[in-house]
Each structure stands twice: as structure tokens, then as C-alpha cells.
Amino acid sequence: MKDREYKDAWQKLKAQMLESYANYEGQKHINKNMGFHKILEGAQISLAPVLEEMDKLDGTNEFSNLLSDMEDE
């Protein structure tokens, strides 16, 4: 793989993970079933440290910006 292909794959993976994190948050507000709510929360807890590390490694603040946007809603 060329460097550009790795960068594209990284960005695609990160975008998918950010979208999943945001979707899980939306589903938590829609579905009040406590068991399902805990599953979604667990998925977010699993994604958060990975997204934080990805932000650190690629020098962006995409995840922290997403969290800030979600707090504002």
C-alpha cells in the first residue's frame, strides 16, 4: 500500500467510527429501553479511547469537536 492509500484508509475508518459514535448517541435518546441503552453506552465507551488516540496521532480534534457539538444539542 502506498502512503496515500494508508491515509485514505485511516480517514475512512475514523469517519466511520465518528459516525457510529454519533449514531449511538442519537439512538440512546430515541430508545429508552434500559438494556439497549447500556449496550449503546458500552459501544461508545469502547470507541472513545480509540477516537481520542486517533485525534492525537493525526493531530486533529475531530472527536473532541464531535463531543462538543453533541453537548451543545
- The CA angle 4-60-63, to the nearest 5 degrees, is 115
In-domain check, residue 67 = yes
In-domain check, residue 23 = no
Q: Which three cell numbers stand for residue 47?
A: 470507541
Q: Is the pLDDT of residue 28 over 80?
A: yes
Instruction: For residue 69, name the pLDDT band (cuts at 50, 70, 90).
Output: very high
Report pLDDT for 63: 97
In-domain check, residue 71 = yes
- The CA angle 22-40-24, to the nearest 5 degrees, is 15
Q: How many domains does the chain have?
A: 1
Average pLDDT in the 28-42 region?
88
In-domain check, residue 25 = no
Domain housing 45: 34-73
